[in-house]
Chain A
């Protein structure tokens, strides 16, 4: 029997796909010219969406690590689902970041003229690595080849850890931006990715009725990881504040009280951290509550990523630089353009489409023991 498809969500994802089509056409015509980015704020919505979806893809890594490394055999039924979620999220992250390049057609230069000193090059390598390993793992799960699935699960662990570490390393080397630089950032990225990834798997496991007991078990892991992440983020903010560099404290002030402060306080802190911290301990027998708490985390991380990427660029590299030459591309403020919003809605729609259609298109990945249809 084929799994049923949630029609409202499917329609919503189709709207997202239409937005994606608009965004892609705009990128083809205008490249990065259709964005509201500039030379002082060179990264915006594209990078935010990339980081968000890269985080979502970490579920495959964590479920593999928990199952193979730490012996949580109860999570085995979620292996295929986690791998599928990682694949969908990686594809969405790839589209988001490729559309942000000024010359996307030259991406082959990553291979032809690589720079081994560049964190971005290594990010590209490990991105490809995670994608390939996830694909092979998904094939193994789909075929029911347990030996191959275990093998690729083991390979996922070091490759994935390197990838999520490299994402933080990418920012931590930028000493000109005090808020980004420092050794805590790579660790913060690994923790954030693990929280996001496992929260996505937990909510998908409940929604697709793959394995509710495993979902509840995962919610406990999410809670612990969220606590670790919150501590690391507190340390990161505290170090930057105590460091006292003028540019860094100005960026922090912008993060906390600037135009995008709602993303940090409202979306990230309240919805993404505090609310799940309250809900997650109460859902030992309630997978639905666990899934909703995880969905709050996912939404909250959109705010976390925005708060990480944009406010750090709101401070001029040299005082007075922003007024030395007047042009909209030389401002310290940033609000995404319609094309950027469409791209963001588009990749989200694509992910939603993948998750809505997943149980129907790839039943082998979603597990073989569907739960009763009524929500607990």
Chain B
């Protein structure tokens, strides 16, 4: 069985697809030689050269806007913004332009723009390098949002992005870069909108994605020893969101905890909780609980950062609280 890191599985997807399709190109800062700030595309520049791995000035609006213009005229750009925080210089291009162009022009154009950036907190990345904006993007019609948590998924989801015709916000988590895992040898693509049960269980459903998948699995292992069987679902994409899979699981387990690193306040967890409440309320034996970051700017101090960012203990606590109903 072949193991790759999350970062190298990502690069492998891009290399294979660039070989298949000459219209795929990558643009970003410090991308050709260095391979991006996370080394996420090491060696791609050497293989494909400066025509297809394009170093740009630090001009986020132009990078994203150019990607749109290139996509409308037949190319398939992968725009690499390094940190998710840097989207903000191009939010107009993302929300007002890319997300709307297919609809407002009545389907005349395709818009296969992929924008990749790293979200989430790493050690001491602080206020302006640790944010997770997926709720903003998922809130906007016209954007797909992929949040892979494993090497296998990052490759399969990236291939789907590169073979589709729609804009994709491809959000990778900083702390997952060196995560190792099985990656199939054969060519495969993972469709968007299909959540995956990564650990079956019968007492409680934990719906999660990105970095919180591994933390939820750790939590589930601890809970197992306490005699609680948690079903962990990796959503993989949050737009589209596989609410059916979550609802199906909740019908079985009767309890739901949602876990993500982004802020709990106004986060995707709120959307899932409300939607599940609307559809399978009658099955629930306990209130739905959400785990997410406290609503604060991220400090640099590791101790303070940990106090804001959710971890496996927060997941365990949430599960315990929804289980209290049966213990009585």
User: A and B bound?
Assistant: no
> Which B residues are closer than 8 A to A by beta carbons?
none
> Which A residues are closer than 8 A to B by beta carbons?
none
